[in-house]
Amino acid sequence: MLFNAETVIPRWAEEGMRADVIVVDPPRKGCDRRLLDAVLTMAPERLVYVSCNPATLARDLKHLAAHGYAVQEVQPVDMFPQTVHVERVI
């Protein structure tokens, strides 16, 4: 599925939907707080976070960790060879 997660996931959380796995791949600004709170409400067993910005990744992971999530693995992905840009899959 492809949709605007910042709109749909909070609505799904309000409707009581649950998910086993949620994958987010936000823009450089990271996830907005409403989206992260909706993800926490849905309480997935696994959350996969793809990030291109270490600063917003750290901010968002701090919020998720404060609510019981822990990083299990970090996988760098070189999507743009011969540049300084690296995606991180957590």
**34-40 mean pLDDT:** 97
Pair 78, 36: CB distance under 8 Å: no
25 is in an annotated binding site: yes
Instruction: Render pLDDT for 46-76 as a digit per residue (tens, 0 to 9).
Output: 999 999 999 999 999 999 999 999 999 999 9
- Which residues are catalytic, by number? 52
Which pair of structure tokens corresponds to residue 47?
Answer: 């959350």
* Confidence band of 44 (pLDDT split at 50, 70, 90): very high
Judge whether 13 and 43 are in contact, CB under 8 Å. Answer: no
Write phi, then psi, for 32 (nearest 5 degrees). Answer: -80, 160
- Chain segment 17-29, per-residue pLDDT in tens: 999 999 999 999 9
Domains recognised in the chain with CATH numbers: 5-89 (3.40.50.150)
Specify the pTM.
0.90
Mean pLDDT, the chain, integer: 95
